[in-house]
Chains A and B, each alone.
Chain A
C-alpha cells in the first residue's frame, strides 16, 4: 500500500525500552523488531510485560528509557491518537468500539463523509460496505455494532484501524473470545494484511494459534526479553521453556529435602469437582502441612481451580470434603466458614482496600467471619495488627498506614496476614510473588514454608516453575482447563512440569501433521 518500505529497515524498531511503576520494574531494556509484512507473535505469561510494552509503544504509558522507530523515524507518541497518526493501530481483546452506534458510524466516526454540514448516510454506508467487503464481510452496516458477534466486531475494529492507514497493527489477544471458525476468518484477514506489507504484532496465549499464524516469536519474561526466534525453527518445548523456565544465570534450584509428613491427615478433598466450561472435573487432596502447586500456562485453569476450591465460583458437580465431612462451597462465605482463605492474583482490585490502613485491612476477613454484630474492638484490632506486622515483617511497621502506600511485597504480606488472622486450615495463594521485588520474593517463599510447617495447608499458583518446585510437596499440572498430571516427591522438577504442559500440544501438533 505505502511506498514500498525499505526491506533493509525494520518497520517497527523498539530499542532498550524500560518502564517502572513505582518500585516494580515492568520492562527492562526490552528490544523488539517488527518487519513489514510479517506476523510476529509476542508471548509471555501474565506480568511478563507484553501489555506494558504495547502500551508504551502506543503512547498510553510514557516510557522511562529507550527509543521507538517506525520506518526508521523515531517517534514518541503521547496518546493512542498520536500513535494512530504515526501508523500504529491497536485492537484490544475488549473491542474498543461503540456497540450502540451502527457499524458504519463506528468505521467512520469523526470522519464521516459530509455535505452541507450533514452526514451523507448513504455514502457512508456504501463506503463501509466496500471496506468490509475487503475483509470478506457482507453485513448490514446500518445495524448497531452490538447486534453482531465479537468476531465481527473484531473485524470491524481491524478494518477501522487499517483504514486509518495503519502500517503496524497490534492485535492483543484477538482470538480469546472467538470460536474456531471465527479464528480461521481472522487468520485469513491477518495473512491478507501481511501481504499488503502491514506488520502485525500478535499477542496470544494460544500456542497452537501462534504456530499456525506467526512468522517469528518474541518471548518476554519478568519484564525482560528472553529471545526472538523464527517460529519454524523453535520447538514447542523450547518455547515453553522460554516462557516459564528459569533464566540461565539464576541460582540453582534448591528443592527442600523431601519432607516426611506425607502421611498426615487429609485437610480437604475434592472428588470429581468441576464446572462445565470452566474447569473439567478433577480430584484433589490437600493434606495438613502440605504445599500443593498448580502449574500450567495462562488460561490453563489454575485460577479457575483456585476459585472453585475457595467457593468463589460454584461447582456444578462433584463432592467437597473438609476433614472427611461433606461440605457445600457455594460462596466465598462458605469457604471462609470452613477455614479457607484466598489471596487472589489481582491484589489491587480483588485483594487489598488501598485507602484503608494496614490494621483495617488485616482485620477485614476476621471481622467478616465473626459477623457484623460482634465487632472487633479497637484493642483487639491493634493487637492482631501488631502481631502480624511483626511476624511477617511488614515494612514500614506502621499499622496505621494506608495499604496503598506500601510496596507490592508488603501488600502481599498484609493480604496473607488478613487470612492468617482467621486461623485458616487452607490458604489458596494465586501468584503470591507476582510483581514483587526479588528480596520480598524470597521472603514470601520462606513464609510459605514456615506456614505449612505450622500445619497449614497451602494451594499455590505460580508461573515461576523454579519457585513452585522449591516449595511444593506435590504439583498438579493443568492444560486446557483440565488437571492432566500430578507430580509428587522426586518427580517434582521443572523438566517434568514442562514436559507435562507441552505433551498434549506436541501430540496435537503431530496429529495435525498426519
Chain B
C-alpha cells in the first residue's frame, strides 16, 4: 500500500541487478555470497531502518555516522581500558545515544530549528567526543566478541547467517511492524504529511519528534555495537560518511525525502542494492571500489526523478464521484 509501489520498483531493480551479476559471475547466486552481503551491511541496515522513520517524518539525521563512531570507541574503551563487562558497556552506550537523539529531537521541536542544522551540530559533537575519548584504533579482545563472531546459522549451500546479520534482520522486521501497525507509525507518516496539520489533528508533535530522533540515535548506537563486532575494534574515524550512504539507501528504497511516504522494507532493499554493487566490484577485481559511489549516485538520480514523477501523478486527484447523498 502506501510507500510500496516505489519499494516494488526497488525490489525489481535489485532482482534484475542480481540476475545480471549472476549471469556474469554465476558464483554470486550462492547463499555464501548472500550471507556475506547481509553481514557486511548489517550495521548499515540497522541505522538505515532508523533513518527511514526520521525521513518519513519529514526530518533528516546527519549524526548517525558519528554516533556509530562514538559507540565503537566508547565500547572499546569501556571493555578494554575501564574494565566494564561488555553487556554493561552496551547498555550504557545505548542509553547515551538514545539520550543524545532525544536531546536533538527536543532542540528541533522547542526551538523550531531545521533538523539538518541540529543533527549537523550533533554530527560534529559526536565525532568530536569520540576523538576526545581516543584517537587510536583500540582492538577489542573480550571473549564475547569471538563468541559472537563465531556464531552463525548454517545455510544450505555453505552460506552463513551471522549473529549481526540476524540482529539486522530482526530490527528491519521490527521496524517495519512498528511503522505499519502502530499508532506511533501512523503518527510518523502524519508528521511527514504536515506538522501543522498533524498538530491540529491532535498528534503530540513535540513528543513524536523527540521519540523519532531518539529511535534513530538508538539504532545508530546498536549499529555501532554491531560495527564493533564486525571489526573487533573501536576507532574514532570509523563510519565517516555513513549518514550519506544511509540516506542514499533510504531514498533508493522509495522513501520520499520530503517525508510522508516510505517503508522500512524498501530501505532494506536499498541497502542490499548498495551491497550488491560492492559485491560485484569485489568479484570483478579490476574495478576501483569508487564505482560503488558512482553507481549509487546514478541510482539516486534515477530514483529521485522517479519519485518526482510519481508525486506529480499523485497530485492529480483521481476524480471519483461521491456516492449519492441524501
Q: When the two chains form their complex, are residues A98 and B189 in contact, meaning their CB atoms are under 8 A apart?
A: yes
Q: Which residue of A lies closest to B317 (CB)?
A: A149
Task: Let me know if A261 is at the binding interface, CB within 8 A.
Answer: no
Task: Let me know if B200 is at the binding interface, CB within 8 A.
Answer: yes
Residue in A106, A118, A138, A155 whose CB lies within 8 Å of B181: A118
**How many residues belonging to B are interface residues under a CB distance threshold of 8 Å?**
32
Q: How far is the CA of A62 from the CA of B193 in the complex (A)?
A: 27
Q: How far is the CA of A210 from the CA of B204 in the complex (A)?
A: 37
Q: When the two chains form their complex, are residues B197 and A182 in contact, meaning their CB atoms are under 8 A apart?
A: no
Q: How far is the CA of A353 from the CA of B193 in the complex (A)?
A: 30
A-contact bits for B305-326, CB 8 A (1 contact / 0 none): 0000000001101111111111
Q: When the two chains form their complex, are residues A148 and B320 in contact, meaning their CB atoms are under 8 A apart?
A: yes
- Expressed in whole angstroms, the minimum distance between the Cβ of A145 and any Cβ of chain B is 9
- Expressed in whole angstroms, the minimum distance between the Cβ of B36 and any Cβ of chain A is 35
Task: Let me know if B220 is at the binding interface, CB within 8 A.
Answer: no
Q: When the two chains form their complex, are residues B325 and A184 in contact, meaning their CB atoms are under 8 A apart?
A: yes
Given contacts A98-B198, A100-B2, A142-B1, contact A109 B190 (CB under 8 A): yes
Q: How far is the CA of A188 from the CA of B323 in the complex (A)?
A: 12
Task: Let me know if A192 is at the binding interface, CB within 8 A.
Answer: yes
Q: When the two chains form their complex, are residues A137 and B323 in contact, meaning their CB atoms are under 8 A apart?
A: yes
Task: Let me know if A371 is at the binding interface, CB within 8 A.
Answer: no
Which chain B residues border A135 with CB–CB below 8 Å? 325
Q: When the two chains form their complex, are residues B202 and A109 in contact, meaning their CB atoms are under 8 A apart?
A: yes
Q: How far is the CA of A98 from the CA of B205 in the complex (A)?
A: 14
Residue in B193, B261, B317, B322 whose CB lies within 8 Å of A182: B322
Q: How far is the CA of A99 from the CA of B201 in the complex (A)?
A: 13
Q: How far is the CA of A149 from the CA of B320 in the complex (A)?
A: 7
Which chain A residues border B326 with CB–CB below 8 Å? 136, 188-189, 191-192
Which chain B residues border A96 with CB–CB below 8 Å? 197, 200-201
Task: Let me know if B186 is at the binding interface, CB within 8 A.
Answer: yes
Q: When the two chains form their complex, are residues A110 and B181 in contact, meaning their CB atoms are under 8 A apart?
A: no
Given contacts A109-B201, A146-B314, contact A101 B186 (CB under 8 A): yes
Q: Among A84, A101, A144, A146, which residue has the most Cβ atoms of chain B within 10 A?
A: A101
B-contact bits for A150-163, CB 8 A (1 contact / 0 none): 11100100001000
Counted as pairs of residues, one from A and one from B, with CB atoms less than 8 Å apart, the total is 106
Q: How far is the CA of A97 from the CA of B194 in the complex (A)?
A: 9
Q: How far is the CA of A506 from the CA of B193 in the complex (A)?
A: 44
Given contacts A100-B189, A150-B317, contact A185 B181 (CB under 8 A): no
Which chain A residues border B1 with CB–CB below 8 Å? 102, 142
Task: Let me know if B134 is at the binding interface, CB within 8 A.
Answer: no
Q: Which residues of chain B in 165-219 are interfacial with respect to chain A, using CB atoms and an 8 Å cutoff?
A: 181-183, 186-187, 189-190, 192-194, 197-198, 200-203
Q: When the two chains form their complex, are residues B201 and A139 in contact, meaning their CB atoms are under 8 A apart?
A: no
Q: Which residue of A lies closest to B3 (CB)?
A: A100
- Expressed in whole angstroms, the minimum distance between the Cβ of B255 and any Cβ of chain A is 12
Q: Which residue of B lies closest to A109 (CB)?
A: B201
Task: Let me know if B69 is at the binding interface, CB within 8 A.
Answer: no
Task: Let me know if A119 is at the binding interface, CB within 8 A.
Answer: yes
Task: Let me know if A112 is at the binding interface, CB within 8 A.
Answer: yes
Given contacts A118-B182, A119-B182, contact A185 B318 (CB under 8 A): no
Task: Let me know if A105 is at the binding interface, CB within 8 A.
Answer: yes
Q: When the two chains form their complex, are residues B323 and A100 in contact, meaning their CB atoms are under 8 A apart?
A: no
Which chain A residues border B314 with CB–CB below 8 Å? 144, 146-147
21 CB contacts below 8 A, A to B, read: A81-B200, A84-B202, A96-B200, A97-B201, A98-B189, A98-B193, A98-B194, A105-B189, A110-B203, A111-B202, A112-B183, A119-B183, A121-B181, A136-B322, A136-B324, A137-B322, A137-B323, A146-B317, A184-B325, A185-B322, A189-B326
Query: Which residues of A does B touch, CB under 8 Å?
Result: 80-81, 84, 96-102, 105-106, 109-112, 114, 117-119, 121, 135-139, 142, 144, 146-152, 155, 160, 181-182, 184-185, 188-189, 191-192
Q: A100-B261, A105-B190, A109-B187 are in contact. List 14 more A-B contacts (CB 8 A).
A: A98-B197, A100-B2, A100-B192, A101-B190, A106-B201, A112-B183, A118-B181, A119-B186, A136-B324, A142-B1, A146-B317, A149-B322, A155-B322, A184-B325
User: Which 6 pairs from chain A and chain B are nearest by CB?
Assistant: A98-B193, A100-B260, A136-B325, A188-B325, A185-B325, A138-B323
Query: Which residues of B does A touch, CB under 8 Å?
Result: 1-2, 181-183, 186-187, 189-190, 192-194, 197-198, 200-203, 260-261, 314-315, 317-326
